[in-house]
Amino acid sequence: MKFVALCFLILGACAKSNYADSGGDASDKNAACFVHSRECVSFTWEKMPTEVQAGDILLKFFLLNAADRTQVLADPQGKIALSLVMPGMAHGSSDITVVREDTGIFRASGLFFSMHGAWELHVQLKNGDVVSDEAIIPLHF
């Protein structure tokens, strides 16, 4: 009987709403390197996403100079595919459009976050349908 009462007390306890700091800057690190190549990718927000509006980013693909580790812009080897994934919920988001602007510079639009929490931006390089390399940038909305 005591066990049953204890279960009810635990299950029936009021929800403790531990609110996170406000803001959706999605800017944990904004950079990651690919798994197989020496190339890295970073991004900056051009249009910040909101709960009712998709965001746009500017992607920079670069290699690190062997001498002083400065960034050297370079186009990636393969077709770029971008996707937002919320790993905790195992779902993605809507399609993202990628357009090349200059050497190593790409504009991606349509980044929509369907809910708040931890997300990942998967930047994949593809040869045909095969993913040849991938960089994962964690972000928070």
Q: Using CB under 8 A as the criterion, which residues of the chain lie in contact with other proteins when the complex forms?
A: 11-20, 22, 50-54, 81, 83, 85, 87-95, 110, 112, 114-118, 120, 122, 124, 131
> Smaller CB distance to other proteins: residue 71 or 109?
109
Q: How far is the CB of 72 from other proteins (least distance, A)?
A: 29
Please, are residues 52 and 28 in contact by the beta-carbon 8 Å criterion? no
Q: For the chain, what's the residue count? A: 141
Q: How far is the CB of 120 from other proteins (least distance, A)?
A: 7
Angle at 95 between CA 27 and CA 132, to 5 degrees: 80
Residue at 108: amino acid letter? A
Q: How far is the CB of 89 from other proteins (least distance, A)?
A: 6
Q: Is the dihedral of CA 19, 23, 26, 27 positive or negative?
A: negative
> Smaller CB distance to other proteins: residue 94 or 127?
94
> Smaller CB distance to other proteins: residue 54 or 105?
54
- Give the DSSP H/E element, type plus range, for residue 68: none
